[in-house]
Chains A and B, each alone.
Chain A
């Protein structure tokens, strides 16, 4: 009897103290102990610990007292950074079937990308292996207004479990992309004039719609209730500055058109791609505009990206823009390796700490979720990446990814082991 108890205890001990990284345990309380913490907003903490409770970061610092019942994860010699935010992607909407674009009218803000995201899509878990814990999923830029974007976390579950913020923004597009769709059909918009006109018309209609409702709300008894229109409902939230616009603009004139339009009607814009941004960097910089830059050039199939330069990110940052990175449509390089693709900007003088900010806190600020994600701070979501060295070094491996306090051990190394040819 006694012997059996000893054996049982021994087995339990082995189970509990075993390699915790290899198990997917959703623990209510967990302490990551003695790691190098890159908090992003509050400097670097050497030999620091993080207390996680119910998916949130409760305490960050040195010598945290371990509460009773908390799971201890020793991360000595490891580096922890906040989960990476991919600021623009189509992940989850494409597999053999593509659901990232709806044909038809060039202005459709009523479309919702969450209706196209398949939580079972392998691209989501694949992005997670690269340390990406939040993704902005946007519809394609083939329309002038192509729909509402979502900020999601690649966790297991339904789309409701995944959503961090919806709608997070509305995707707009200027320049070549909508032209390519509507020009062959010989319908509006077939030129840059047409695109700008359509946007002016749409926003004027929205202003009228808002006026009608304001008038009605002032005196509901003596006026008839206007008809509700989903399209203008979304657009009025944009004009109320409650929802930002992600604006696909590559050429410098498209960028300036976008800025002009946003100032005329008063809405918040986030410049998407912004390829020729360096040509109008002072204009973007003095307005402190957020930009989501495609850092690495590939074989463009469009004219508007031909003046791509890696210097773009650094020039815009120096001028005052808030920089984030994306991988870009049709890139032959893995979107999951955003960390590495963003690091390429180091070659042109982009500072090291700014690279990390551009894939964490900067995009969090852009989408108004900096109270939830983007840094290692008390009260924020426990979205963390544990690495075995400097995140920007190519020889560094991602050991574990934590989302909402849950350890996902489908790390890069494990994936590789599975695929290694025996």
Chain B
């Protein structure tokens, strides 16, 4: 008898728990809604059911069981995405030994997994959430030629496993100055190219071995698993894209050449000189993630970066996203604002911190815009986005309010 009661109690508890999650039905009455992938909606209604967006539009009737949240004087945007960062792997406190974003023991280290280095309790995560940055693409690097595997993740959560959107989302490569100098050996671009080709050729042979085995598993011996070559094999099979850190235009062209040679899908990071090859990038539809430096003149360290780099690329038809590359996610708004101030179209700048960043990480089916079926990650603002005075009022991640301004 006693056992029965306990069972019933447990069952009830379990049921309540599930129903509580399913009952997360919220209707947002939004003053202005930027779906990003569609036109701006004035006085729109957004329905959240569970963790997903259930409906969105101007004339939607609110079902009975939905809790109504009146945001009629507010502006609603999809949660922001920082297209390249290292938070949690680099401590938010400077000069500390907790620097786990680079292994630096080999120049080719695709076996490194950024998820093994992320401290989700670092205060950067809280700062990101409070600034409305709900998704980040966290990558290793960029000291080595191949730095390891990246993850697309949410910034809010109590367990890394629950926060992951896609792992691995790409393999990080670095060309030019960083692997030349940071790795501690003085190499040349010729030398780096040779090492890179050799690694990819090795991966090609490894892939062929596996293909042969899979064709006839009974006759052929099963090849040994090689952790170093496994991610590269995924690249060559088209299962994973490569994200390539490059600054100079010739490095960008080399990246494109390499991608075609080995049939890889690529995206580019930083791309300070991408304006010189904007037409090629647009024609081949290669996404570029610019920043963190957004300078017109930068004291001679990284060459001349046009102050309107984002605008130039966007107008040429390149899908541009923006990165903070570090611990200041709250500056993602400012970076987009700088782009607008210097000539980038306002909507292009918004896309650069939402949908284009999602596309760069191949996670556009989950995040990056306000569309039915996508995760209910939202930012509520008190005024026009990107204006310096605009404040974040509320942040939703997976349909739950995770930040509310006091």
A interface residue numbers (CB < 8 A to B): 90, 94-96, 98, 122-123, 126, 129, 296-303, 305-306, 332-334, 336-337, 340-341, 343-344, 346-347, 352, 392-395, 412-413, 415-416, 419-421
Contact = CB atoms under 8 A, between A and B. Distances in A.
Interface residues of B, number: 44
A346 B391 CA distance: 9
B380 to A, nearest CB: 15
B403 interface: no
Across chains A and B, which 6 residue pairs bring their CB atoms closest together, nearest first?
A343-B388, A346-B389, A332-B293, A416-B343, A332-B292, A299-B326
B338 interface: yes
B311 interface: yes
B389 A343 contact: yes
Contacts of B330: 297
A394 B299 contact: no
A358 to B, nearest CB: 13
Interface in B86-116: 93-95
Contacts of A340: 334, 337-338, 341, 388
B279 to A, nearest CB: 7
Given A337-B341, A395-B340, A412-B342, A420 B94 contact: no
B296 A334 contact: yes
Interface in B139-185: none
A347 B95 contact: no
Nearest to B328: A297
A94 B334 contact: no
B338 A337 contact: yes
Contacts of A300: 94
Interface residues of B, dominant DSSP: loop
Contact of B294 (A122, A332, A347, A413): A332
A303 B308 contact: no
A421 B387 contact: no
Interface in B294-347: 294-297, 299-300, 306-308, 311-313, 315-316, 325-328, 330-331, 334-335, 337-338, 340-343, 346
B46 interface: no
19 contacts: A95-B299, A95-B300, A122-B297, A123-B299, A296-B331, A299-B327, A332-B291, A333-B331, A333-B334, A334-B297, A346-B388, A346-B389, A347-B391, A394-B341, A412-B342, A415-B307, A416-B342, A420-B315, A421-B275
Best-buried of B299, B307, B326 by chain A (most CB within 10 Å): B299
Nearest to B297: A126
Given A341-B334, A347-B391, A420-B312, 16 more contacts: A94-B300, A95-B299, A96-B300, A98-B299, A300-B94, A306-B93, A332-B295, A333-B294, A333-B335, A334-B342, A337-B338, A340-B388, A343-B388, A419-B306, A419-B307, A421-B275
Nearest to A352: B389
A305 B337 CA distance: 24
A292 to B, nearest CB: 19
Contact of B340 (A95, A297, A333, A394): A394
Contacts of B275: 419, 421
Nearest to A344: B388
Contacts of A296: 331, 334
Contact of B342 (A297, A337, A393): A337
B390 interface: yes
A340 B349 CA distance: 16
Contact of B388 (A123, A394, A420): A394
B386 interface: yes
A316 B331 CA distance: 22
Contacts of A347: 388-391
A296 B326 CA distance: 14
B338 A334 contact: yes
B278 interface: yes
A279 B216 CA distance: 71
Contacts of B312: 419-421
Contacts of A392: 387-389
Contacts of A306: 93-94
Nearest to B295: A334
A176 B173 CA distance: 35
A371 B313 CA distance: 45
Given A420-B312, A421-B312, A302 B307 contact: no
Nearest to B127: A297
Contacts of B313: 421
Best-buried of A98, A332, A347, A419 by chain B (most CB within 10 Å): A332
Contacts of B316: 421
